[in-house]
Amino acid sequence: MFEAVGLLTGSPWIYAIVALSVLLDVFLPVLPSGVLVITAATAAAAGSTAAAGQGAGSTTVASAAGQVSGEVPSLSALLLCAATASVLGDLAAYRLARRGGERLARAIARSRRLVTAQERLGTALSRGGGLLVVIARFAPAGRSVVSLGAGAAHRRVREFLPWSALAAVAWAGYSVGLGWFGGQWLGATWVGVAVSVVALFAAGSVAAYVMRRPAPKPA
């Protein structure tokens, strides 16, 4: 298992795999895109020296990668790939919902979660704010709900896109930062990855709670 993950994080293909996972998880929220980003960032935190000085029974993310290629991922490239793929995935879902017609509208109407998010998002965007888009990016399936809701409601792309970009940068920065600092503080080990993933899920739980709260009534 360690060798397989090392092959992934130690290969230039890690960027393509991360980008594809982030792009598609707007349609398949079960994809572990956040975990992939954190794991790659943890490997980067170790740098080129992680392969040395490990005990016989201890295998690290970075040392597994180093055994394969001697390379670790670039944080800046990882951040760019994750953020760009996130925006492209949002736009794909937005365009799909916008052109979905009556059939998709009926499907959305059957989901109270989608209807509520659509109403709240429409109100937020019409008032010149889209913080809900940023918050939803951290919630499980929240990105899908908001992107599909914005498209189905025929919100203008110039209202949605800037907030989608901000959400992408915030999520990618947070995920990469968790992997980096987790690796620095706890070492580039699976313990560091696990703690960082828990922190990502904690942020998702908070975001989901905020999204479930009733929208404030206008004064």
- What Cα–Cα distance (Å) separates residue 191 from each residue in 5, 60, 96? 15, 9, 40
Residue 70 backbone zone (phi > 0: left; psi -120 to 50: alpha; other: beta): left
pLDDT at 214: 59
Mean pLDDT (the chain, rounded): 76
Give the residue, 141 or 118, on which the prediction is more confident. Answer: 141
Q: Are residues 98 and 151 in contact, defined by beta-carbon separation less than 8 angstroms?
A: yes
Q: What is the pLDDT of residues 38-81, one digit of tens each?
A: 988 888 776 643 444 444 344 555 555 544 445 667 889 999 99
Residue 168: pLDDT above 60?
Answer: yes
Mean pLDDT score, 172-181 = 92
According to DSSP, residue 213 is labeled S
- What Cα–Cα distance (Å) separates residue 103 from each residue in 90, 107, 113, 151, 156? 20, 6, 17, 14, 21
pLDDT at 30: 80
Q: How confident is the model at residue 1 (pLDDT cuts 50, 70, 90)?
A: very low
pLDDT at 61: 55
Residue 152: pLDDT above 60?
Answer: yes
Give the residue, 24 or 187, on which the prediction is more confident. Answer: 24
Mean pLDDT score, 17-40 = 89
Mean pLDDT score, 107-123 = 63
Q: Are residues 116 and 110 in contact, defined by beta-carbon separation less than 8 angstroms?
A: no
Q: Are residues 179 and 41 in contact, defined by beta-carbon separation less than 8 angstroms?
A: yes
Phi, psi of 32, deg, nearest 5: -85, 55
Q: Which of 32-36, 49-53, 158-162, 214-218 has the lowest mean pLDDT?
A: 49-53
Residue 28: pLDDT above 80?
Answer: yes
pLDDT at 177: 93
Which pTM value belongs to this model?
0.78
Contacts of 109 (CB under 8 A, 6+ apart): 115
Q: What are the DSSP E strand ranges found in the chain?
A: none
pLDDT at 83: 96
Give, for 72, the enclosing helix (H) or strand (E). Answer: none
